Chains A and B, each alone.
Chain A
Amino acid sequence: MTVTGAIGAIFLFPLRLIIDAAVALRIHPNVLTFVGVLINAAAAWALALGRFMLAGVIMTIANVFDFIDGKVAQELKAVSRFGGFWDSVIDRFSDISLFIGLIYLYSRLGRTGYVIVAALAMMFSIMTSYTRARAESLIPKCKVGFMERPERIVLFMIGAFTNRMAAVLWVILVLSIVTVADRIFYTWRELNSAEPEPIA
Chain B
Amino acid sequence: MSVRFLSLPARIVWNALFWTYDRATWQYDLMVVAILAFVWLTPPEWLSDPMASGPGLIGYFAQWIR
Contacts and interface: CB of A to CB of B under 8 A. Distances in A.
Question: Are A and B genuine complex partners?
Answer: yes
Interface in B34-66: 35-36, 38-40, 42, 44, 47-53
Nearest to A179: B19
A134 interface: no
A166 B50 contact: yes
A165 interface: yes
A144 to B, nearest CB: 5
A168 B39 contact: yes
Contact of A162 (B19, B20, B40): B40
B25 interface: yes
A153 interface: no
Contact of B50 (A5, A109, A150, A168): A109
B32 interface: yes
Nearest to B49: A166
A159 B40 CA distance: 9
Contact of B24 (A2, A50, A175): A2
Contact of A111 (B19, B28, B36, B50): B50
A80 to B, nearest CB: 26
B39 A159 contact: yes
A90 interface: no
B4 interface: no
The majority secondary structure among interface residues of chain A is helix
A4 interface: yes
On chain B, which size bracket covers the interface?
20 to 34
Contact of B39 (A114, A167, A189): A167
Given A3-B29, A164-B44, A167-B49, A182 B39 contact: no
B5 interface: no
A164 B51 CA distance: 8
A170 interface: yes
B23 A4 contact: yes
A158 interface: yes
A52 interface: yes
Interface string B1-18: 100000000000000011
Interface of A: 1-5, 8, 50, 52, 105-106, 109, 111, 113-114, 144-146, 150, 155, 158-159, 162-168, 170-171, 175, 178-179, 182, 185-186, 189
22 contacts: A2-B25, A3-B32, A4-B23, A105-B51, A109-B50, A114-B50, A144-B18, A144-B20, A145-B19, A159-B39, A162-B39, A162-B40, A164-B39, A164-B52, A166-B49, A166-B52, A167-B42, A171-B35, A182-B17, A182-B18, A185-B18, A189-B1
